[in-house]
Structures are given as C-alpha cells and as structure tokens.
Structure 1
Amino acid sequence: MVSIKDIAKHAGVSISTVSYALNGNPKVTEETRKRILAVANELNYVPNAAARTLKKRETRIIGTFLTTFEGSFYGGLLQGMKEIMNKLGYDLVICSGTQSHRMLSEGMLDGAIILDREFSDDELIQHANRGHKLVVLDRELSHENVVQVLLDNKAGATFAMEYLISQGHKKLYAVTGPEGTFDSEQRLAAARQTVERSGLNITYKEIPGNFDKKSGFAAAAQIIAEYDGPAGVFCLNDEMAIGMYDALKETPYRIGEHVHVVGFDHIDIADYVQPRLATVDYSERRWGAVAAEQLIKLIGGKGTAEHERIYVSLITGDSVRPANVNIDG
C-alpha cells in the first residue's frame, strides 16, 4: 500500500509537506499542492481512513443498534435517521448483536442511537463515562452524554384502553410484548391503571406476547377458547393485532363485533385490513429524525434537551360497537 512517505520520496519533499498538501493546508503553495497530488494520483495513493480517524478523532459515522430487523416498524424510523444524518454529513450504520457493541468502544463511531435490549444500562453508562455520545429510544437513562428520545407510550396505551371501555366492553385483554422491554412495560402499566381508574366492573386479563404476528395468532386462539361474550383487546403493537386478525378471519368470530381490537404503531398494513384497525399513531420517521438531530447536536457540543417526547394519537378506524351475542362452538 502506498503511504505518504512514498509520495514524499517521489516528490522530493518532506512528509509534513505531503500531509499539508493532501489536507488542503495553506502552508503549501498551490503549485506544490498540485505537484504532490499528481504524484499521489500516479502512485494510486488511497488515504488511510483508520489513520485519519485516529488523528481527527471522528469518523462521520453513526451507529443505530437494534435488537431485530423483523416487522415493518423499522423502515420509517431508519429513513428518518438517514435523511437527517446525510443532510448533516454523516453516514448511518445499522448494528445488531453483542459483537457489534465493540464498534463503540473501539472508536469506529462518532455516536450511537440505541434501540437494543442487548445493551444493559450499566454498559451504556460505561460508554457514556468514556465520552461516547448516545441517544436512547428504549429506556430512561440520565447522563450528560445521553439524550432520551422516547415515545409517549403511557398516553398511547391510555387512549387505547379508554377507547375500548367507551365501546361498552366489560371484558378486556391486553396482549403484552417481550418481557423486560421498555415499551411493553410502559404500555402495560398504563393499561392496568386505566382499567383501575375506570371504576367499572371490568374483567381484565393479560396474555403474553412477543411483538410478532405469531403471538397475536396464539392470543386469538386463547380468547376464542374463553369466549363468553364480546371482548376488547389491546395488542401492544400492530404486528400482534394483525396476527389476531389472521386467526379470527377463519372463525365465526368477527372483528369489531365479537372481538374489538386496538393496536399500537400504525404500520402501513393497518390501513388495509377490514375493518380498519384502530391503532395508536405516531410518525416513525419523525422519531428517527429527532433522534438523529439530538445525537448530532450532542456530538457537536451544542445544547440538547435531556429528553425529547414523541407524541401519539389514536386512530379509531371503522369501529363497530360490540353486539350482545354468543356463538356456539
């Protein structure tokens, strides 16, 4: 590999003069710069990115760490990040798995956006203590090098449960997300509180889920097995709600009549199922864009908020009030 030492030897100048010329430093004349660049081109010189990064202490690369890429949720989120980063001169790298965590400690990234439960809070605090700049989307973490950009999960879950209660349901289910995940815990806590605050005689039950269609399908089977009248179901994300739609369409039980479903995330397919899925809505693209903006401000030493909130609303779709009917096996 050709080095600046080789260029200096061929051009008959010092190594420092070559370095100045390659980096556009005004310490060398335009004539000398052109001559050195011509030699570098002749020798097929390629700059050493690792050496440049070490010298400047920047890579202009930001990592986004995800637990999984499955489902339709991530497209808008990542696009929002990419648009802002590219506009401000940064590139985006998508990372997953514990081995990728070393990209932070080894200085391969200028900063990171975390939506990855494989990172523990302690690990992230250690990175922050070393000066790494972080934005977290999936936890509450207080540190001068960390900004929280969080969904208003509690408000969304409250909207969903209040809507089901307003439809007259006396039996409610919540299909949960993976155990220990921030979004699931926040949404579930708000769902419980909404039922308790209602003061109504409501039967409430939780069914374990995993934020995927398969667990929504399984939850539907349990609800059918226990069916004794109309029920309202809050699926803590839309993937599970769609799985429930798929399960129920092969049965006599009708969505919106026997089982009333509300999801969370407003993924694209939610607008096309029949009846249209009621769901908690927000802009994934905006969430990603705000995360990117906050991280780049943090990297640049500009003032940032300790946390940002992404607000949500409820889209009710084509609701049908529950019918007082029973269905035999």
Structure 2
Amino acid sequence: MVSIKDIAKKAGVSISTVSYALNGSSKVTEETAAKILAIAKELNYVPNAAARTLKKRETKIIGVFLTDYSGAFYGQLLQGMRETLYSKGYELIVISGMRSHRFLPERMIDGAIILDETFKNEELLKYADQGHKIVVLDRELDHPNVIQVLLDNKAGATLAIDYLIEKGHRKLYVVTGPKGSYDSNQRLQAVRQAVEHYQNINYTEIEGDFNKPAGEQAAQLIIQQYTQPTAVFCLNDEMAIGMYNYLLKTDYRVGEHIHIIGFDNIEVSHYTQPRLTTIDYSKRKWGALASEKLLKLIANEPVENDRIYVTLVEGESVGKI
C-alpha cells in the first residue's frame, strides 16, 4: 500500500508537506500542492482512514444499535436518522450483536443511538464516563453524556384502553412484547394502571414477542377461550397483523367477534381489512430528533431529554358493543 512517505520521497519534500497538501492546507504553495496531488494520483494513493481517525479523533460516522432488523418498524426511523445526519456531513451505520458493542470504546464511531436491549445500563454508563456520546431510545439513564429521546408509551397504552372501554368492551386481552423490552414494559405498566380505574373488567395478559407468530399464537388461544365479543390490545402492530392472519383462517371476524387495536401505525396496517385501529407517532421524527440531539452532544452544545408524543388512529377493527 502506498503511504505519504512514498509520495514525499518521489516529490522530494518532507512528509509533513505531503500531509499539508493532501489536507488542503494553505501552508504549502499551490504549485507544490498540485505536484504532490498529481504524484498521489499517479501512485493510486488511498488515505488511511484509521490513521486519520486517530489523529482527528473523529470518524464522521454515527452508529445506531438495534436488537435486530426484523419487522416493518425500522424503515422510517432509520430514514429520519439518515436524512438528519447526512445533512450535517455524517454517515450512518446500523449495527447489531454483542460483538458490535466494541465500536464505541474503540472509537470506530463518533457517537451512538441505542435501541438495543442487549446493552446493559452499566455498560452504557461506563462508556459515557469515558466521554462517549450516546442517545438512548429504549431506557432512562442520567448522565451528562447520555440523552433520552423516548416514546410516550404510557400515554399511548392509556389511549388504547380508554378507547376500548368507551366502545363498551369489558373483556380485554393484552398481548405483550418481549420481557426485556423497555417499550413493552412501559406500555404494559400503563395498561395495568388504566384497567384498575374501571370496574367489572375481565382482563387477561398473553405473553408475546413483537412479531407476527406471537400474534397468531395469541389469536389461537383467544379463539379457544372465546365466549363473547372480545377486545385485544396488541402492544405492537406486527402482532396485530399476525392475529389478522390467523383469524382469516377461521369463522371469527375482526371488528365483530375479535376487536383489535395495535401500536406503531406501521405502513402495512393501513391496508388491513378492516382498517386496524392503532397508536400513531412519527417514526421519522423520532429518528431525526435522536440524531439532532446526538450531534449537539458531540459538539458540546446544550441539549435536553425529549419525548415523542402519540395519537390514536381509529379504524374499523374496533367496533362498539
């Protein structure tokens, strides 16, 4: 591999002069710079990104850590991040898996956005103590180098339960997400609190996993226990879609026998028949806001925690009884 030492030798100048020329410094004349750049091109010189990173202590790369890539949730979230970061001269990489955690301590990225339950709080706080800049979307952490941009899960879950009660439903199922999911746990906590405010509620929890198979399995269980019109709050839309898929194979109809409400308003939910009632928020805005906060952290600018607010989108999947 050609180095700046090779360029310096052929140009008859010092290594520092070559470095200045390659970085566009005014410390060398235009004539010398042009000569050095021509030699670099002739020798097919490629800059050593790792060495440059060590010198400048920046990569212009932001990492977003995800638990996994499955489901339809992530597209708009990542698009919001990408647009914001690109406009500021940063690249975005999407990372998953325990081994990828080394990207932070090894300074392969300038900062991190965390939506990954495999990161323990203690690990993130350790990196924050070392000066790494972090935005979390899936937990609450108090540290000067950590900013929270959280979804208003509790408000969304409360909206869902209140809506079902207003429609006259008293037999309720809730299909949860993974046990380690902050969003699922926040939603479930709000559901339990909301149910306590009402009387004569027949309430059952079914453990899910934020994916379609979990919704299908929950639908099968509900049908086995079916005695009357039943309302189901799936803590994400993926599970609600799985429930639709299973019910299509039966004589039970969504909005008549089984009344379903989801959470996330993913694109595919717009095309369900009947239209899925769900909790909506801007995933693009969430990603953009997380990126904006992180860039302010990196620049050592004042920055505060923030929240993404939610609304309820009505569909025909929940009827009045």
Q: Same fold (TM over 0.5)?
A: yes
Query: 2:309 corresponds to which residue?
Result: 311
| TM-score of the aligned structures, taking structure 1 as reference length | 0.96
| Equivalent pair of 1:230/1:322 in contact (CA under 8 Å) | no
User: How far does the alpha carbon of each residue in 1:146-183 deviate from its partner, in whole angstroms, 9 at most, with x for none?
Assistant: 11011000000000000111111111110000012100
Looking at structure 2, the residues matched to 270 and 320 of structure 1 have their Cα atoms a distance apart, in angstroms, of 14
Q: For the residues of structure 1 that align with 2:272 and 2:237, how far apart are their CA atoms?
A: 11
In structure 1, what is the Cα distance between the partners aligned to 2:306 and 2:142?
A: 13
Cα separation, 2, equivalents of 1:252 and 1:5: 77
Residues 254 and 317, structure 2, Cα contact 8 Å, conserved in 1: no
The TM-score normalised by the length of structure 2 is 0.98
Quote how far apart the aligned CAs of 1:17 are: 1.1
Post-superposition Cα deviations, 1:220-252, rounded to whole Å, max 9, x if no partner, equal 111111111111110000000011111112222
CA–CA distance in 1 between the matches of 2:170 and 2:44? 75
Instruction: Please state how far the C-alpha of 1:322 moved relative to its aligned partner.
Output: 4.6
The alignment-based identity, stated in percent, is 64
Partner of 1:298: 297
String of CA shifts for 1:47-94, please: whole Å, max 9, x gaps: 111111100000000001001111100000111100111111000111
1:188 aligns to 2:191 (yes or no): no
What displacement does 1:16 show? 1.1
CA contact (8 A) 2:260 2:318 kept: no
Question: Are positions 1:61 and 2:53 aligned together?
Answer: no
State the distance in 2 between where 1:284 and 1:63 align: 18
Q: CA deviation at 1:318?
A: 2.2
Identify the residue that residue 152 of structure 1 maps to in structure 2: 152
Deviation of 1:29 after TM superposition, in Å, equals 1.1
Alpha-carbon contact 1:258-1:322 (below 8 Å) kept: no
Q: Does 1:80 align with 2:58?
A: no
Q: In structure 2, how many angstroms separate the alpha carbons of the residues matched to 1:30 and 1:319?
A: 70
Offset of residue 320 of structure 1: 5.2
Task: Report if the CA contact (8 A) 2:125-2:143 is conserved.
Answer: yes
What's the secondary structure of 2:197's corresponding residue? helix
**Residue 223 (1) aligns with residue 215 (2):** no
Residues 102 and 319 (structure 1), Cα distance of their counterparts in 2 relative to 1, 3 Å cut? closer
Aligned twin of 2:9: 9
Cα drift, residue 298 of structure 1: 0.8
Distance 2:120 2:318 in 1: 43
AA of the residue aligned to 1:38: A
SS at match of 2:144: coil
> Which residue of the partner structure matches residue 39 of structure 2?
39
**Aligned length in residues:** 321
Partner of 1:326: none
Deviates more, 1:136-145 or 1:34-43: 34-43
Runs (5+) with no aligned partner, structure 2: none
SS of 1:105's equivalent in the other structure is: coil
Q: How does 1:126-275 map to 2 (within 5 A)?
A: 126-198=126-198, 200-275=199-274
Moved >4 Å (runs of 4+): none
CA distance in 2, matches of 1:320, 1:308: 32
Structure 1 residue ranges without an equivalent (≥5) = 324-329
Does the 8 Å contact 2:277/2:318 carry over to 1?
no
Letter in 2 for 1:284: K
- Contact 1:211 1:237 survives alignment (8 Å): yes
Amino acid paired to 2:21 = A
Q: Distance in 1 between matches of 2:2 and 2:180?
A: 52
C-alpha distance 175-320 of structure 1, shift in aligned 2 (>3 A): closer
RMSD over equivalenced CA pairs, Å: 1.0
1:319 Cα deviation from its structure 2 partner: 5.3
